[in-house]
């Protein structure tokens, strides 16, 4: 896939990259090469390939879902600049 200068400039704007006029051509060739490689990868048949978690056949280890920490509200609020009735005090934003 070949990218023209206008499309490369548009991609640079979207990526918030400032390009000089002489950088547009080489970047367009590089991006075109990347897109050609992606098109080549899309031709590979992966229908019979199962998803993998890594190089070895592994399964995810599950942990119990439970509260492991808590009940430290007084310690946490001790560092707050302002606290009211067990909550952080914040300045009023809307009048």
Residue 17 lies in domain? 5-42
Residue 19 tokens, joined: 């390009």
Mean of pLDDT values over 20-27: 93
Question: What pLDDT, in 10s, does the model give residues 68-87?
Answer: 777 888 888 998 899 888 89
Query: pTM of the predicted model, to two decimals?
Result: 0.50
23 within domain boundaries: yes
C-alpha span between 54 and 67 (Å, rounded): 30
Question: How high is the pLDDT of residue 61?
Answer: 83
Question: Does residue 31 sit within a domain?
Answer: yes
Average per-residue pLDDT for the chain: 88
Number of independent structural domains in the chain: 1
Under 8 Å between Cβ of 1 and 11: no
CA 73 to each of CA 52, 59, 81: distance values in angstroms, whole numbers, following the listed order: 42, 37, 14
Rounded CA-CA distance 12/23 in Å is 11
- Both structure tokens of 81: 């600049």
């Amino acid at each position: 896939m070949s990218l023209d200068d206008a499309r490369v400039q548009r991609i640079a704007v979207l990526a918030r990259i400032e390009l000089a006029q002489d950088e547009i051509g080489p970047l367009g060739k590089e991006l075109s090469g990347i897109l050609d490689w992606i098109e080549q990868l899309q031709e590979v048949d992966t229908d019979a390939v199962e998803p993998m978690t890594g190089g070895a056949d592994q399964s995810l280890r599950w942990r119990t879902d439970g509260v492991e920490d808590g009940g430290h509200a007084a310690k946490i609020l001790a560092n707050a600049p302002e606290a009211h009735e067990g909550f952080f005090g914040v300045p009023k934003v809307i009048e």
